[in-house]
Structure 1
Amino acid sequence: MTNACSRFIKSKNVSVVGIPINAGQPREGVEKGPAKLIEFGLLNQLEEMGWTTEHKDNEKLVASLKPSDDPDVLNLKQPKWVSAVTQSISEQVRQSAMDGKFVLTLGGDHSLGLASVSGIFAAYPDACLIWVDAHSDINTPASSPSGNIHGCPIAFLTGIAEDHPDFRWVKPCLDAQRLVYIGLRDVDVGEKKIIKDHNIKAFSMHHVDKWGIGKVLDMALNHVNPDRNRPIHLSFDVDALDPSVAPSTGTPVRGGLTFREGHYICEALAESGLLVSADIVEVNPDLEDENAAFQTIQVGCSLARCCLGEALL
């Protein structure tokens, strides 16, 4: 069974935007995630649910934007490539959102949040962001222990990051009070300080254990969307799920969301009528064995379907 469109998405048109990027972290293979989700039949699955789909794989675009030389700048690795890709694709996302389409972004590593969030918030300036992840991805260039940009997008989007020459195009579009985390369990010391200093609402797995996913999601929405009138962008990193559920991902952390908890988030947000866009990121089919990769791809597809209204009854 599928639910009706949201109050913001008036017709059942979905723009599926692939961002096959691996430059935000060190493991190859994550760039194959979008193509594998499509190969598994995601577009057909959405069409069977009554959605009209358009698909941009962006594989040639991402390859064409790779610079010949991309040295570390202010601690960040491959900043020119990440910046060029995310800036270019943010405009695709913005245009699709402005056209009234649901935007489903497939990754790729989570640095792509620079593209999806920038694009969605350009179209919906009053939107809020629900970031489902084992990690908070709010390191600044200076605080990042690794320099991997997939751990930094929120810092740029909120304007918390210090000035970086390659990311001056990123407009601080995200008010920290319109951001909420769900599923955190591997947060760097510097990130904990940033979250506390900026009073950012964050629900770790401790809170999910304590209150249950239903109450956590209600509390999250009460914080970022108290009147239930703001568009919602969901950014879902599959490493938010326990590795027993989604094993083929680059930075798995034990003790994550169950299959049902992850799907409940997507189902309930779709049911709210406020969800306008979603990212499904960090599926890496090259990690683990073939069965684990298949399982993770399958989960990525089912999360996407739930975002677009698939329900159990």
Structure 2
Amino acid sequence: MSKATKWKPLNKVGIIGVPFEKGQKKYGVSVAPAAMRTAGLIEQLTEIDGLDVKDFGDIETVCDENIKVDNMAHLPLVSACNRQLSNRVSQVLRDGRVVVTIGGDHSIGVGTVDGHYKVNEDMILIWVDAHADINTNKTSDSGSVHGMPVALLVKELSDYWPYLPTMDWQVPKFSIKNLGYLGLRSVDQFERLAIEKYEVPAFAMEDISEHGIQNSINHILQVLDPCMNKPIHVSFDIDSLDSLEAPSTGTPVRGGLTLREAICLMEIIHNTGRLRAIDLVEINPALGNESDRRKTIEAGLCVLKAGLGFSRRGTAPRGVLDLPVQTHHDHDCPAKELLRQNK
């Protein structure tokens, strides 16, 4: 048996903002990238020891919405956004950076994963979410595309879709065998069927309660990547957290992850050295009061920082072996100065 390659975390990060909300029905999630930047996203990441942070700006989407698809609201807009996003993600990865994508709703996962797959075809995907997001337009109750990105991405479900105009740019190549779920607690019947049919490692909240967050993520990583040599993509929906931790989100579900569990999860993934992409989605600053918004944005920042190397233990200064020594000069000491004057 060959030894697993020891990976070292990348110390370069690229930020992409996606102010997009047409994958769901509520206003406000589009302002999350601006709200995160205003809250100090770049500054806080830059403070992590040795991290080089570059902001690649926002994805802008304009297209003709005349094309309609049954039970898929705003598909042309979703497609146009994700096509641009896919190209930008690939660009940032080829620059040797971890891609941090700030949404927007979870329909942007189509573009982030597609762009990552173009660069790393052996990638694995950890979908951290209260919802499985693996509906098709045939099984969805809402017709909102933010509940369909996983089904659009995986090649095993490609035959369950009709022809989707405007989506010709995206050919499903990612295998469901490289997918794992964490935090599930609101899963539709046909989504559960898909998870069981393809034996996707999926830790719902009841499983995390039984096994703990560390055992849960370690099991998923072992199943998806037993040789520990595949790049990791984490798509983190803020509603995976309990709504007491992150109230400003469009589809909150009580009984979710604590912030401490989410931070532990991201620290474990960071420590593999293989993290290459993080999506943070579904923060909606338009929902709730000022305290709710602040709490939700702060939770998102904590999740990102944990994934990118921030240590809760603290970090000693580089190249410094001792505490600073304070040097006293005689003229700085009032008592000695008084003695000098009395002589």
Q: Give the TM-score normalised by structure 1.
A: 0.93
Q: Is the 8 A contact 2:67 2:165 kept in 1?
A: no
Q: Is the 8 A contact 1:8 1:231 kept in 2?
A: no
Alignment of 1:26-37 (within 5 A): 26-37=25-36
Structure 1 counterpart of 2:24, one-letter code: Q
Determine whether 1:144 maps to 2:140: yes
Percent identity for Structure 1 against Structure 2: 38
2:299 counterpart residue number? 299
> How much has 1:47 moved relative to structure 2?
1.1
Distance, in Å, in 1 between the alignment partners of 2:219 and 2:98 is 25
> How much has 1:66 moved relative to structure 2?
4.1
Two-structure CA RMSD over aligned residues (Å): 1.4
1:3 counterpart residue number? none
Structure 2 counterpart of 1:117, one-letter code: V
> How much has 1:303 moved relative to structure 2?
0.7
Deviations 1:162-206 (A, max 9, x none): 132232322223211110000000011111111122221211001
> How much has 1:70 moved relative to structure 2?
4.4
**CA gap 1:199/1:168 in 2 versus in 1, 3 angstroms:** farther
Structure 1 counterpart of 2:79, one-letter code: S
Q: Is the 8 A contact 1:30 1:285 kept in 2?
A: yes
Structure 2 counterpart of 1:205, one-letter code: M
Determine whether 1:100 maps to 2:100: no
1:209 counterpart residue number? 209
Q: Give the TM-score normalised by structure 2.
A: 0.85
Structure 2 counterpart of 1:31, one-letter code: S
Alignment of 1:223-262 (within 5 A): 223-262=223-262
**CA gap 1:211/1:9 in 2 versus in 1, 3 angstroms:** closer
| Structure 2 gap ranges (5+) | 1-5, 314-343
1:119 counterpart residue number? 115
Distance, in Å, in 2 between the alignment partners of 1:45 and 1:300 is 12
Distance, in Å, in 1 between the alignment partners of 2:116 and 2:29 is 23
Q: Secondary structure, in 3 states, of the residue corresponding to 1:221? A: helix
Determine whether 1:220 maps to 2:216: no
Q: Is the 8 A contact 1:9 1:100 kept in 2?
A: no
Which runs of structure 1 show a deviation greater than 4 angstroms over 4 or more consecutive aligned residues?
none
1:193 counterpart residue number? 193
2:337 counterpart residue number? none
Larger radius of gyration: 2
2:69 counterpart residue number? 73
> How much has 1:57 moved relative to structure 2?
3.1
Q: Which has the higher contact order (CA 8 A, sep 6+)?
A: 1
- Corresponding pairs, count: 303
| Structure 1 gap ranges (5+) | 1-5
Distance, in Å, in 1 between the alignment partners of 2:39 and 2:295 is 11
